[in-house]
Amino acid sequence: MKRLALVLCAATAYAAPASEADQVAPIDGEGSAAAGSAAEWRRGAIDGEGSAAAGSAAEWRRGVIDRALAAVQALGATGRAALQARLTTAARERCHADAAPPAVACLIDAARAQCAGDAGCAAAADVAITNLRGEGDFVSTADRARLLRGSADYRAALDAELHRRYAVLAAELVLAGPRASEGAAIDELCRERDRALHACAPGDAACVPSLPWSRCVAALVWYVGGAP
């Protein structure tokens, strides 16, 4: 199964600033056949080899998003919560996430350890670790400080705030209208929404700022995949 992180890594290099290109690396490693497929897609997309290449790129991205959604859904509510909790704990204890955003390589090692070769778990973990890396895009430093001051359980408060922000993004997805698949809808929204800058006023919980494609996709996959 081609995992979401491959799409996140490849498409971020294509659709977002270069500084974002190292957000996520494939769990399979750069030498894998799946990584080769990502490289082939990236060359076709960036080199502009015509509409057929662009169409193949879109189909590939959307298929992987659909499969990632299926993996997140298959975990069920209990499985999603358990995986997220284990990865969050690993990010804090192994990757020192309290001091800075957790390093990609450390999160990938944590995901490998948690999933132990389970492809479905690894696909869902790719989404979860992308969201861990992207928390600061959704909840500002000032808002995190407010949650820290006002909450007995900071992590629970932050998770609840992230869920609210993901819900706002999901509302944009609904308003965009139906597409051929959920993967197609998510891909199109995340590629198109930030052609215009989204700037949010401080403290505006109903506003989602401009996002790298990868983090937009991961947030929506986790939210939509967890919907009843």
Task: Please name the residue that has the structure tokens 């960036």.
Answer: 46
Q: For position 55, what pLDDT does the model report?
A: 67
pTM above 0.85, yes or no: no
* 183 touches 11 (CB < 8 A): no
State the total domains in the chain: 1
Give the mean pLDDT per block of 10 residues along the chain (228 residues): 41 36 35 41 40 70 90 95 94 82 88 91 93 91 90 92 95 91 92 85 83 93 93
Q: For position 42, what pLDDT does the model report?
A: 41
125/84 Cα distance (integer angstroms): 8
Q: For position 221, what pLDDT does the model report?
A: 97
* Residue among 41, 186, 209 at smallest CA distance from 137: 209
**Domain span holding position 152:** 4-225
